[in-house]
Structure 1
């Protein structure tokens, strides 16, 4: 052991170790021990002076390793991924998702507890608290949930049910992201990043549409467009919804991918739109779950809706769309953020709000319809996974019960 009365710290050797350690106390922090990783005393003394000054500065700014609160770390994590002008749509969605989970659940529960105090039992305690948040916990009396979109504040009715296993699993991703951020900045070791057992993933079949239902929906949507010939603005909005459904069914794109489309993402459209119908071929660059757009091959039947959207924009605004113009625009020429309300009204009018099992249909149901139809046509799941920007595992998980048409005919047999 070594001690120097002129220094505020002490060097010492641990039993069974040849390397020096240092220990000292700071107001409000208790005793701190730091391994210096050297058996050379002179080197250890030089390193100790630097480590002590670093610890004093960190303590003054409340960022001493292991001493920083979860709440402050979570805020610092969000600040590190906050969107800017170079942020992709997917990164913006990820930021909004993390922010929502942190502000609604993680920070209220963990608060100013230090990151190192969040041991495994405490984390599982959080999971139990989260499961009952909306039923018997803090959210049971809340009537509405407020949220921001495009700089505006909206609200929706609170739903007082327990979260699904998949929702819990997604939210744990946010929790681990905060711990990874803490480890990256030296507040904890990487071994302290939690590995929580979340149980098996649920494999619920996704609600989709039969081809007969899609035809019924599109026919009704087209009729509703024609009914508004005397009200051009309403007719335009209904036409955009019709095209949104048609393109979604024939591309399998996610709703957010569709909303993020600009005309520059419709590769070859300018050249192909002047060709005959049977010759038209385009590719679409879509922002999926990666940070860069990925190209997909749409079904040829989607092309007509792109033509309709282009022509409708030109009629409304008196000019052609630019490459930076959103494909799905509102009346002001701005990017459409959601089709939820208009789609809900159309599904209600068509009697197609739910499938045969009572599962509610949403804009995502068109993606599931596309996947089912491609499998029935005989498209192999590897090709389909690439074109849908997802994994083979996800295709197998959610569409394994879809039987290709050729196989179905073989299984059915005939009376001949």
Structure 2
């Protein structure tokens, strides 16, 4: 090695190359080595001076590449997320979610390692450690997870099982967000972010209803509005409260079948969200059109186009409200109301009772049906009638990827005929 001078940095040549290199140390950042890519000594001195000054400035600005620990970056990431959540309450849930992952898994594993030392192989090792965390790893002897929410202390029991692929994917997003902050601060390049390798989650088709099952369910729901009793018993009239509640359930099912709305979106509906209903009530069915503004998943309301059959359900629900409360619904009234006029929170109990009574609680594969099954039925029926997945994804407020993942096996009959035809 041939050293030239003794400045804050040292210039030297390696035995296997005529080019000059430099090395120096900056407090808190360790030693750095930089190849100057020239065999010219004078030029090497000029380049070295520039590189050293650049490194000093970057260190003072807190952006010296590659010398920040993962734990420090994770702390900065949470601080930023916390500040954003102060002005945007919706980010509060994400802050709590990411903080839990960072505090329990990411920082204990990666700790003070510099971000540039965390390679693809190390991330894969982390995934294996994470899979075993609650079974044979650090959490095997823990039986409760303690956490704080709104200033109160809570705890929940531990499940000593391996995490699902979907859980690992969500946690991988948090890990990547910390690395993205490192890119923003100049510690590393976007191309150097290590990507975890996760197996593709199995495509489990969502439980839905066949055309015949749909007809059976709706017919039974309608019959139960007026009468009660088992088929082999004398039928008797039901009380006004039960009749109103069953009317709401029938309407809920009808609207769900013909809009594909999520249960939360349905329960959030007010009459002001049904655009064009007043005009449609006085228009011939073939010409009547309504639009629905859905509130639920996502930051902003989204407009959707319902099937024409949904109009009849909304008209029936409007009339039921007017009969019960002896007044027309106000724009702010909930579409799906309780007997006292307030918003119904869910129909889980009454829906399960109806599904059990019709023998439709589970599909042919033994998968339990829920209120979400109406949404899956809507998607299946739209694809079968030839609606393209891009249009359907927009109307269902979801991604094309989700449509492809869960409904790609639904082939319209006209497409099937073309596929079956001879070449």
Q: Same fold (TM over 0.5)?
A: yes
Alpha-carbon contact 2:73-2:182 (below 8 Å) kept: no
CA RMSD, aligned part only? 4.9
Match of 2:234 in 1: none
Give the Cα separation in 2 of the matches to 1:296 and 1:201. 29
Instruction: Please report how far the alpha carbon of residue 252 of structure 1 lies from its aligned counterpart in structure 2 after TM superposition.
Output: 1.7
Instruction: Please report how far the alpha carbon of residue 207 of structure 1 lies from its aligned counterpart in structure 2 after TM superposition.
Output: 1.3
- Larger Rg computed on CA atoms: 2
What per-residue deviation string (whole Å, max 9, x for no partner) do you get for residues 308-329 of structure 1?
Answer: 4445556459663335x55445
Pick aligned residue for 1:247 from 233, 245, 255:
255
What per-residue deviation string (whole Å, max 9, x for no partner) do you get for residues 13-58 of structure 1?
Answer: 687579x986322xxx4636599x9957887787677545445xx9
* TM-score of the two chains, using structure 2 as the length reference: 0.69
Pick aligned residue for 1:107 from 103, 106, 121:
103
Match of 1:72 in 2: 75
Structure 1 pair 70/312, CA: closer, same or farther in 2 (3 Å)? Answer: farther
Match of 2:26 in 1: 24
Give the Cα separation in 2 of the matches to 1:330 and 1:188. 56
Alpha-carbon contact 2:71-2:107 (below 8 Å) kept: no
Alpha-carbon contact 1:257-1:287 (below 8 Å) kept: yes
Match of 2:386 in 1: 378
Alpha-carbon contact 1:78-1:99 (below 8 Å) kept: no
Alignment partner of 1:364 is 2:372: yes
Alignment partner of 1:124 is 2:119: no
SS of corresponding position for 1:82: helix
Alpha-carbon contact 1:284-1:296 (below 8 Å) kept: yes
Instruction: Please report how far the alpha carbon of residue 274 of structure 1 lies from its aligned counterpart in structure 2 after TM superposition.
Output: 3.5
- Aligned pairs (5 A) from 1:42-81: 51=58, 53-55=60-62, 65-66=68-69, 68-69=71-72, 72-73=75-76, 75-76=78-79, 78-79=81-82
Give the Cα separation in 2 of the matches to 1:153 and 1:241. 38
Give the Cα separation in 2 of the matches to 1:33 and 1:352. 68
Give the Cα separation in 1 of the matches to 2:196 and 2:369. 32
Instruction: Please report how far the alpha carbon of residue 106 of structure 1 lies from its aligned counterpart in structure 2 after TM superposition.
Output: 4.3
Structure 1 pair 180/3, CA: closer, same or farther in 2 (3 Å)? Answer: same
Match of 1:7 in 2: none
Match of 1:296 in 2: 304
- Aligned pairs (5 A) from 1:183-262: 183-186=183-186, 188-226=188-226, 230=239, 232=241, 236-262=244-270
* TM-score of the two chains, using structure 1 as the length reference: 0.69
Instruction: Please report how far the alpha carbon of residue 248 of structure 1 lies from its aligned counterpart in structure 2 after TM superposition.
Output: 1.6
Alpha-carbon contact 2:291-2:305 (below 8 Å) kept: yes
